[in-house]
Amino acid sequence: MEPITDEASLRRALEVMQRSGTDTQTVEVKSCIGGLTKDLARTISAFSNGSGGTLVLGVDERRGFVPADGFDVGKIQDALSSMCTEKLEPVVRPLMDVYVIDGAPVLVAEIPELRPKDKPCFVRASSRYGGSYIRTGDGDRRLTTYEVDRLMEEHRQPRHDEHLVGEASMDDLDQSLLQRLLARERRVHARGFAGMDDATMVKKLHIARRDETGALRPTLAGLLALGTYPQEFFPRLNVTFTCYPGFTKDDATADRRFLDSATLVGPIPAIIDDLEAAVARNARTGAVVEGAFRSDVPDYPPVAVREAVANALMHRDYSEEGCATPVFVDLYRDRLEVTNPGGLYGTVTIATMESALGGSSRNMRLATLLESTPTEFGYVAENRGTGYRAIVRELARAGMPAPEPEDLVSYFRLTLVARDDGRVERPVARTTPAAAQHAGSPDLDAEQGRIVDAIRELESASITELARRLSVPRSTLSKRVARLVERGVLKPTQPGSSPKQRYVLAG
């Protein structure tokens, strides 16, 4: 939904909500006839912890989003200022304007997103772990302890990757990998490392540190990058690969739920190699004809696959809680999903992922080591914030859709959408009664009717939510939704190609 900056944009926002019959991801409406409701503090917390949002006060949702009778705008404005100052921590500074709709005052308050180092915003009476919220759809959800801890990490540089693994020894490092890494560091950073002995180098590079007895022990970063078998000490720091026969995890063949699965272990370079091989043996291969020449093209470019899993392993959450969760790589008939615990860190957002500037690094030591950790193809990572751009570039070069990122506090997911070239038999539509009615109409076919039915039930939905619910490939669904928007059946809630885009019924 467009920002509310004047009376005209406020009227358009109210029109959207009148047609959908509900608030949106970014706009909360309250009548506030008898004063501010207690749950409004939760909404302010949720907006502050997310990407910001707008409160529209003095509008009666039950009567169809029209101005509320008896709304005291001056009283509510003062009460809102007091709530943001006295009931929330840290203090929230809303930007408030009063507009007149049909002769009645309406208070519009923009709640800004807090800086990462100031999150989470919480309701003081409920404490940080009981009173921190996030916006989900048109409601507010309490953040879990894990999510609050991840937000708190933004206040300082996490050092989980520097953790000393006391049960491990230097014998648990792959000596071949270690020597090749040290040789590269001596070559690239000769001024600092030329002539330095190995023991001193591994300490300076934070590959290992001495414990209280003086013994040299690997760090988590050293073990993950160079260990022979890190899973001896951290059994869930692996990659779980699953190939599903259909478009969702619930689709199954007659005798099995998945076609292939593997738990990939070892140091990060080995995991990346094994993952690339797993995808290659399960993904389809198409053909591209240029002139008289025909060449085979895989569904997922190997470079894009390697970068996606390398980024997931390098930037995932390695906190004590996070170490209980692996990276998941799920291959469906129409897409490849790579999911890692922990959302984007620091100044990196979905909007800035493709920018030329290097991003923040949650795991500084690990990222530095992976820059010099050798593989068959060079080194694991450039560590210059270029991994995502490499994925975008390789997909574009292969004539494939751009990757689809999804960022939440608890996880980050990157989806690579397969080329929609007609080689996959798409799911048969499951027609509901309402969809059948639409199908009989000259205006909407059965597939469009299913989309409308789903959004009517959900009240609002993103392309990702619709794709999972309807078992339709994202690329196909995006075209159908775009057509429904053009015809005025659906309306977007965000401007342009916003990563937070959702759709509601236009009437």
Residues 101, 119: Cα–Cα separation, whole Å = 35
Of 211, 206, 234, 404, residue with least CA distance to 316:
234
Residues 66, 48: Cα–Cα separation, whole Å = 26
User: Which of 204, 232, 260 is the last residue before a domain boundary?
Assistant: 232
Residues 161, 298: Cα–Cα separation, whole Å = 35
C-alpha angle 96/506/32, rounded to 5°? 35
CATH number of the domain within which 342 lies: 3.30.565.60
Residues 273, 375: Cα–Cα separation, whole Å = 8
Cα of 2 vs its chain's centroid, Å: 22
Tell me, yes or no, whether 422 lies in a domain. no
Q: Residue 203: is its pLDDT beyond 60?
A: yes
On whether both 440 and 292 belong to a single domain, the answer is no
Provide the CB-side half-sphere exposure for 139 (13 A, CA).
5
53-57 β-sheet, strand order: 27-30, 53-57, 104-111, 95-101
pLDDT in tens, 447-493: 788 899 889 878 888 888 887 777 676 767 887 888 788 788 898 88
pLDDT in tens, 16-35: 888 878 888 889 999 999 89
Q: Residue 434: is its pLDDT beyond 50?
A: no
Question: For residues 17-28, b (16+ Cβ closer than 10 Å) or e, as one string?
Answer: beebebbbbbbb
At residue 383 the predicted structure's pLDDT band, cuts being 50, 70 and 90, is low
Query: What total of structural domains would you count in the chain?
Result: 4
SS3 132: strand
On whether both 267 and 412 belong to a single domain, the answer is yes
Q: Residue 411: is its pLDDT beyond 90?
A: yes
On whether both 401 and 287 belong to a single domain, the answer is yes
Residues 6+ apart with CB under 8 A from 36: 30, 76, 79, 80, 83
On whether both 312 and 399 belong to a single domain, the answer is yes
Amino acid at 168: A
On whether both 413 and 486 belong to a single domain, the answer is no
The DSSP 8-state label assigned to residue 164 in this structure reads B
User: Which of 135, 153, 171 is the last residue before a domain boundary?
Assistant: 153
Give CA separation, 347 vs 1, 73, 114, 117, in Å.
24, 37, 12, 10
Q: Is residue 322 a contact partner of residue 339, using CB atoms and an 8 Å limit?
A: no
Beta bridge partners of 122: 89, 132
pLDDT in tens, 86-125: 999 999 999 999 999 999 999 999 999 999 999 999 999 9
Largest Cα–Cα separation, the chain: 81
Beta bridge partners of 108: 56, 97
Q: Is residue 107 a contact partner of residue 98, using CB atoms and an 8 Å limit?
A: yes
Q: Is residue 19 a contact partner of residue 491, using CB atoms and an 8 Å limit?
A: yes
Tell me, yes or no, whether 28 lies in a domain. yes
Strands 122-123 and 133-136, sheet pairing? unpaired
Residues 206, 217: Cα–Cα separation, whole Å = 10
* Two structure tokens written together for 112: 């800004």
Residues 396, 371: Cα–Cα separation, whole Å = 25
User: Which of 388, 417, 446 is the last residue before a domain boundary?
Assistant: 417
Tell me, yes or no, whether 95 lies in a domain. yes
Residues 202, 164: Cα–Cα separation, whole Å = 13
Place of tokens 């001896």: 232
pLDDT the model gives residue 66:
93
Q: Is residue 89 a contact partner of residue 121, using CB atoms and an 8 Å limit?
A: yes
Peptide bond into 120 cis (omega under 30): yes
Place of tokens 């050293």: 222
On whether both 86 and 39 belong to a single domain, the answer is yes
pLDDT in tens, 133-156: 999 877 899 999 999 999 999 898
Nearest-Å Rg of the Cα atoms of the chain is 26
Alpha-carbon dihedral angle through residues 260, 263, 267, 269, given to the nearest 10 degrees: 20
On whether both 15 and 64 belong to a single domain, the answer is yes
On whether both 260 and 399 belong to a single domain, the answer is yes
Tell me, yes or no, whether 386 lies in a domain. yes
Out of 212-226, 264-278, 412-426, 429-443, pick the least confident.
429-443
CATH number of the domain within which 107 lies: 3.30.950.30
At residue 420 the predicted structure's pLDDT band, cuts being 50, 70 and 90, is low
Residues 300, 303: Cα–Cα separation, whole Å = 9
The 3-state secondary structure of 192-208 reads HHCCCCHHHHHHHCCCE
On whether both 219 and 249 belong to a single domain, the answer is no
Beta strands of 249-377 (E only): which ranges? Answer: 260-264, 285-290, 293-298, 327-331, 335-341, 374-375
The DSSP 8-state label assigned to residue 401 in this structure reads P
Tell me, yes or no, whether 329 lies in a domain. yes
Tell me, yes or no, whether 428 lies in a domain. no
Tell me, yes or no, whether 43 lies in a domain. yes
Work out the mean pLDDT of the chain and round it to a whole number.
Answer: 87
* Two structure tokens written together for 185: 């560091």
On whether both 181 and 326 belong to a single domain, the answer is no
CATH number of the domain within which 455 lies: 1.10.10.10
Secondary structure element (H or E) that encloses residue 504, with its range: strand 503-505
* Two structure tokens written together for 72: 């005291």
On whether both 215 and 268 belong to a single domain, the answer is no
pLDDT in tens, 193-202: 988 999 999 9
On whether both 442 and 401 belong to a single domain, the answer is no
* Structural domain span for residue 458: 433-505
446-458 vs 463-470: helix crossing angle, rounded to 10: 120
User: In this prediction, what percent of the chain has a pLDDT beyond 90?
Assistant: 60
Q: How many residues are given for the chain? A: 507
Residues 128, 101: Cα–Cα separation, whole Å = 38
Q: Is residue 271 a contact partner of residue 314, using CB atoms and an 8 Å limit?
A: no
Secondary structure element (H or E) that encloses residue 55, with its range: strand 53-57
Helices (H), 283-412: 302-315, 364-370, 387-397
Tell me, yes or no, whether 74 lies in a domain. yes
